Amino acid sequence: MSNTYETKETVVAFIDVLGATAKMYEDEDKALSIVHNVYNEAIKLHKHLFDPEKNKNVKLKVNIFSDNIVISAETFSKNQYLVFRAVVAFAAIIQYKFLDSGYLVRGGISMGNFFVDDTMLWGTALVDSYKLESSIAIYPRMVIHPKVIATLGIATNPSKQRFLMQDLDGLFFVDYLNKDLYGEEQLVLFVLSFIADVERLECEANGNLTVMQKINWHSSYLLHKLKTLPKKPKQGDLNENV
């Protein structure tokens, strides 16, 4: 007898690690180790920030194939925003950890029908998040699908924008260098170190205009973050009250 499978309402993030394929051809095992270690570190940090005991109903699933990452979490009645926030926070941590390892990432986050098991990833939410990443995001940002913004009332509720920023084109994206995730003092250190690393990224771009567009957007984001943070950084602890 054949089995019957069904999709469920799920928040889905599709993430592409930019430049990872080229690095894979340069040193396959090194690239593998970087991607796997970023995932391991992100899991630990997410558990530190989001106490599993306080968020028992949020079940994150992560699937990694080559240089693509899919993060998903099934929603249920009255917890859509909680699940969305958890997925966004994990996506932010992934983005920060990859940047710390020298990689920019791009992605899309949607909500809708989705199925996942040990064999398959399937559903319109996955297709929507992939389309956002591949056709809409353009820059190293993780764009939120407009229908998610509308469904969760994010545009009209500033308290729901704490892990997000709105870009000049009107799209909301994951604010991955966020004081609510890391604390202001620690965040200043992160931003300053990433600004110092922009020159390396520009050198690796080797004049490629498409890549330079992404780096310039990334630089603008870092400079914007720096303007909003304290002037004198001190080493601080991670913020545990997310």
Assign 142 to helix, strand or coil: strand
Which residue reads 């996955």 in tokens? 126
Identify the pLDDT of residue 181.
Answer: 81
Checking DSSP bridges between strand 105-116 and strand 121-122, what pairing results, if any?
antiparallel
Task: Give the pLDDT confidence score for residue 107 in this predicted structure.
Answer: 97
- The residue with tokens 């949020």 is 58
pLDDT digits (tens, 9 = 90+) for 183-219: 888 888 889 999 998 988 888 888 888 889 999 999 9
Burial category of 64 from C-beta neighbours within 10 Å (exposed 0-12, middle 13-18, buried 19 and up):
middle
Q: Contact at 8 Å (CB) between 242 and 180? A: yes
pLDDT for 240 equals 44
What is residue 52's predicted lDDT score, i.e. its pLDDT?
A: 64
Task: Report pLDDT for 229.
Answer: 80
Return the pLDDT at 184.
82
Residues of the chain short of pLDDT 70, as ranges, are 1, 51-54, 231-242
Q: Phi and psi dihedrals of 237, rounded to 5?
A: -85, 160
Output the pLDDT for position 172.
98
Decide if 81 contacts 160 (C-beta within 8 A). Answer: yes
The reported pLDDT for the residue numbered 241 is 43
